[in-house]
Amino acid sequence: MKGVLLGPQQLKVSLGDAVSALGREGPIALVTCGWQEREDNDEDLPGQLGRKTINLKLYERGEQVLAADKSFARAHRARQDQLRQIQEFYRLRLERTFDAALDIARKSAGTDLEADELRLSMEQIRRIDQEHLERVSSLREAYELQLRPMERPVIAKHRAELKKILDSVGILAIAGGHVAVLMNRLRMFGLKDLLDDQALVAWSGGAMVTGERVVLFHESPPEGFGISEVLEQGIGLHAGVLPLPNPRLRLKLDEPLRVGWLSKRYAPSKCVAMDQGDFVLFEDNRWFGEEGTVLLKEDGTVGTGWTH
């Protein structure tokens, strides 16, 4: 697949450039379900993207599915409640382990044990992340095996309509918004399996959900010491890069310890901080960072002008 990932779009200046870089003709299929009830408020996007757009209306379609298929709706909501509980328990484990890792890092700083202790702490955090991903994936697989959502008539009807739209476009654009809702609707309709040779443009939360795993992050909260957390596996439209949009508000790029830990924790994926106007291009497994796009490095530094 070929595509472009971007940071937040409040300035509304780079979407057209991203579309032009893809070299694809024709209209654009649009996903704005992360906006939830405001899904239809997409009047500005055709002008920003420079093309006619066709909104897939995944949020609205999802509400129609839940209203029409009551047994599916009950099972779906029960699973969502269970996922929220699992996320809460994972967060508690992660916070305790992270606090301990910080205390150990302070106490071991400058000693012969410093490197070993850092490695052990990072291994524990990465293990918690991986076990959470596996647990969530197992729950989703059991849910899909039991309910077979793609075979349910109301979902199959919407998938046929979506496939017809997607076959008529050269680009799929995914906007940001509520990341969990985005994931929910993209999975509900199995959108990945409906794609053929379309290119991708995704920004902000849309960029976050399209990779190998979804990471929620706010390492610079108004109070306290923030820690990122894994939500679940992403849609898998690209691999090798973990997008971190809006870094000025959510990251502490001037603190080498935080930068290095983020980079090591999510390796081998490359952590890329994308502010307004920043974007990266990819084609299959090749990545190209545009000027100004920041790559977080394991030694705690940040760099620009990179190719992966």
Q: How far apart are CA 298 and CA 164, in angstroms?
A: 45
With cut-offs at 50, 70 and 90, classify the pLDDT of residue 308.
low
Pair 59, 136 in one domain: no
Pair 136, 33 in one domain: no
Query: Which tens digit of pLDDT belongs to each residue from 289-298?
Result: 766 678 999 9
Query: Which tens digit of pLDDT belongs to each residue from 140-175?
Result: 999 999 999 999 999 999 999 999 999 999 999 999
Task: Please state the rounded mean pLDDT for residues 59-74.
Answer: 97
Pair 277, 130 in one domain: no
The pLDDT value given to residue 11: 47
Q: How far apart are CA 5 and CA 53, in angstroms?
A: 18
Pair 191, 259 in one domain: yes
Query: Which tens digit of pLDDT belongs to each residue from 232-250?
Result: 999 999 999 999 998 888 8
Pair 276, 295 in one domain: yes
Pair 283, 169 in one domain: yes
The pLDDT value given to residue 221: 67
Pair 90, 196 in one domain: no
Task: Please state the rounded mean pLDDT for residues 61-71.
Answer: 97
- The answer to whether position 219 is within a domain reads yes
Residue-level length of the chain: 308
Pair 223, 288 in one domain: yes
Mean of pLDDT over the chain: 91
The pLDDT value given to residue 223: 62
The enclosing domain of 195 has a CATH number of 3.40.50.880
Pair 109, 230 in one domain: no
Domain membership of residue 65 as a residue range: 2-69+152-303
- The answer to whether position 308 is within a domain reads no
Q: Looking at the 3D structure of the chain, how many domains does it have?
A: 2
